Structure 1
């Protein structure tokens, strides 16, 4: 029941977030601050590992970062190098064994790994490793990475290269040893990873917004297929394959990333504004009074729509930021109450008005339907729903929790049926060509919209 409850509570769930600092005397404290900026990417677990050059120590737990860590929990995490993770479990359960960093101790020393994304050939790799005698303690993809590394010969960098060649799917991961740190991005660049300068050292983050928390200066994005080694010799770059291309997940711009992050040189807020502008261009004949955005990731698109259309942007929905994630219950009345606790209609603003309601995406449709009903119950005369992305028709197997087409309402209903289901007066989406116009020459993965996956799907393909 837990998965069903979560699916109703939020239309689509975030990725994980990774953050690392190399060569700073308060590395673990800096990682803690960086993870705060990435908390939107995962709320199920958090952890930090740190190394002082001789010993590697780790502390982690289930829940939000502030629930897991007290000030005294950071004190033992001494050393100049540290990595951390906030988790949303797209693969593996929520057991403590799956909370990261995952640490292995062997003849080559101690290794800690944190990972964002999903390995699509994880089942095949795990079966192969188990046949060779490897024992797994958890069920996350990240543990597979460690087993692949330990099963190779050569230097650790050579082991990492060989392991990456075996991995398929979406991944960025950080590896920490007693002395060095490694940052890796998959050959398709499906998940973001950025490099920054932090004092005399470096930091690595899933999003650039976290750099501000530690006064770091953005240097560049880690390239697809690139492995960065941070050591006493400085920064070393190498690639594990020549087959590389840029295929950043479009949902990073649409939903996952914070608006103040820059991904592949594009500011997320500005990209969302562009999609709102394009939406407004499709509505030259629409008669409406105001634009309302669904908090929070839709607000930038709503502002873009407002500016382009000339309609005023109004705060028609109010978000309560003090409601936890565990309230939602399985009955219809309790689910409706959960939406009302998180969002309220601003009755004085919306009553009697014709509203353009801008949302970032439509996945399962349940939350959007309740929002439309909430606005109409507050007296809105009309609600015209505008979605700042294309219809999601295909499941994602790269770290997003939509694994079957049956979960996706747009794959089951026509546009007219969707409009009726939402109780909307009109309904419009963007198309993939609109996103390509907004993002320019940046290569993106649009698989959830057009079914063109960047990799083979292996056993996950049976879920389509």
Structure 2
């Protein structure tokens, strides 16, 4: 298993991406390509399960990048069939470095009516309570993943088909989930009632594809058809086409707004909007809300680039690549010694001194989490001869942990939970620090009136502390939500 990048702990990370295909020859090859496009959502491990009538269910799970594992003909030949699903994973904060291969999805279960495999993006907020209940009633878990609860709940259902058993199981589940699953003949996609995590449907040749993002449909030449709706289950087969069900009733959508800010690739489409255009518009909002006299606007690559372009265009301050990213750093560079660790972000980023020297620089980044990387980047910019350093952040202050499928530090480690904006400015040692407001972020995402405080259009709990689904397991451990405070 590749070690975590030693300088990559100051960003929030999605924990996984899912992809599935039905009705095409060598479906596993399509899934491998889709997972490659979703690699940004999970870089620790990946897995594929396929089904072929002649060989039955076959699976492969590997640590590391998709390109290093699922491009080998010798492996892909073991995954035949016209139906396959896959998963890429980024472990939760508590399990980094301790992941076992049994934790790598998709998970598989054999039921009386046949086998089923399942891949899950999100987080089950009552998983610990469910796990205790299931173990008390005789279930034997094979992994430490919350997603395995779904398989066990399906096994305990008395419904006669696997899709019906899945409905039963997911009605017991709290939190956020986008699920891609498969039986011997069907590809299944489900989103939780609030639609917190993304899931889209595509048409590929004579078959169909389900994906966490549209960019993965592009790589296999699939046509984007539509998003799976919040609370919707689709069951897809070559015989019956697409069947749609609503097993959870109706609730207002609370899609994760951080997908727009950071998680999704900029070439994906979310809610009918280009992710790139939303991020560029965040920069426009920032320039309007927090203007500054400066000579140069620079992104912190790569996630700050669209917002920096928007900030530059709106402010009239020239845009420049003042920081250059080493694209070949990777997560498996070297086992870091203390001396290497002290180099910090210099192994990943380098300052374009000729551009920076003597300038008042606006640095645009997507977020400030712990603040450690921001401080190092500021020092590099000053060392290169900048006269002033101003930070503009393309998201509101991240003050609350996420419990819906995002790897977030404990609340006390989030800088914004402990300091005011002015205190953060002094802590980072910059000339000014401004975050886009929550209303500004909503406007950039297409909500002209800003945030509806009575019924927010997105899940923004990491900024507001407003959790649309109570994190039951964490509350049982003593975590206090903003409402409780």
TM-score (norm 2): 0.91
Q: Which runs of 4+ in 1 moved over 3 A?
A: 2-10, 326-336
Partner Cα distance (1:165, 1:104) in 2: 19
Unpaired runs of 5+ residues, structure 2, are 448-455, 481-485
Q: Does 1:83 align with 2:85?
A: yes
The aligned residue for residue 63 of structure 1 is 64
* Per-residue Cα deviation, 1:230-280 (whole angstroms, up to 9, x for no partner): 122110000111132211111101010000001111111000011100111
Change (3 A) 1:311 1:378: same
The aligned residue for residue 211 of structure 2 is 205
The aligned residue for residue 460 of structure 1 is 474
1:253-272 matches, within 5 Å, as 253-272=260-279
Is the 8 Å Cα contact of residues 5 and 328 (structure 1) preserved in structure 2? no
1:395-406 matches, within 5 Å, as 395-406=401-412
* Per-residue Cα deviation, 1:186-213 (whole angstroms, up to 9, x for no partner): 1111000000111111100000001111
260-269 or 67-76, which moves further after superposition? 67-76
Partner Cα distance (1:375, 1:264) in 2: 37
The aligned residue for residue 287 of structure 1 is 293
The aligned residue for residue 139 of structure 2 is 134
Partner Cα distance (1:455, 1:9) in 2: 26
Partner Cα distance (1:326, 1:210) in 2: 24
The aligned residue for residue 383 of structure 1 is 389
Is the 8 Å Cα contact of residues 5 and 331 (structure 2) preserved in structure 1? no
Is the 8 Å Cα contact of residues 18 and 115 (structure 1) preserved in structure 2? yes
Is the 8 Å Cα contact of residues 328 and 334 (structure 1) preserved in structure 2? no
1:328-407 matches, within 5 Å, as 334-407=340-413
**The residue matched to 1:150 in structure 2 has which SS?**
helix
Q: Does 1:227 align with 2:233?
A: yes
* Per-residue Cα deviation, 1:132-173 (whole angstroms, up to 9, x for no partner): 100001110221111111110122121111111101111111
From 307, 311, 333, the counterpart of 1:305: 311
From 142, 147, 152, the counterpart of 2:152: 147
Is the 8 Å Cα contact of residues 37 and 213 (structure 1) preserved in structure 2? yes
Is the 8 Å Cα contact of residues 344 and 376 (structure 2) preserved in structure 1? no
TM-score (norm 1): 0.95
Is the 8 Å Cα contact of residues 44 and 94 (structure 1) preserved in structure 2? no
Q: Does 1:422 align with 2:428?
A: yes
The aligned residue for residue 275 of structure 1 is 282
Is the 8 Å Cα contact of residues 3 and 331 (structure 2) preserved in structure 1? no
1:171-182 matches, within 5 Å, as 171-182=177-188
Query: Would you say how many aligned residue pairs link Structure 1 and Structure 2?
Result: 462
93-102 or 201-210, which moves further after superposition? 93-102
Change (3 A) 1:5 1:217: closer
Partner Cα distance (1:227, 1:6) in 2: 39
Question: Pairwise CA RMSD of aligned residues?
Answer: 1.9
Is the 8 Å Cα contact of residues 397 and 463 (structure 2) preserved in structure 1? yes
**The residue matched to 1:258 in structure 2 has which SS?**
coil
**The residue matched to 1:141 in structure 2 has which SS?**
coil
From 411, 423, 443, the counterpart of 1:437: 443
Partner Cα distance (1:331, 1:424) in 2: 29
Shift of 1:295: 0.8
From 224, 245, 248, the counterpart of 1:241: 248
Shift of 1:329: 7.5
Partner Cα distance (1:7, 1:142) in 2: 29
The aligned residue for residue 31 of structure 2 is 31
Unpaired runs of 5+ residues, structure 1, are none
From 123, 127, 130, the counterpart of 2:128: 123
The aligned residue for residue 51 of structure 1 is 51
1:102-113 matches, within 5 Å, as 102-113=107-118
Shift of 1:129: 0.4
Partner Cα distance (1:42, 1:205) in 2: 14
105-114 or 192-201, which moves further after superposition? 105-114
The aligned residue for residue 73 of structure 1 is 75
Shift of 1:26: 2.1
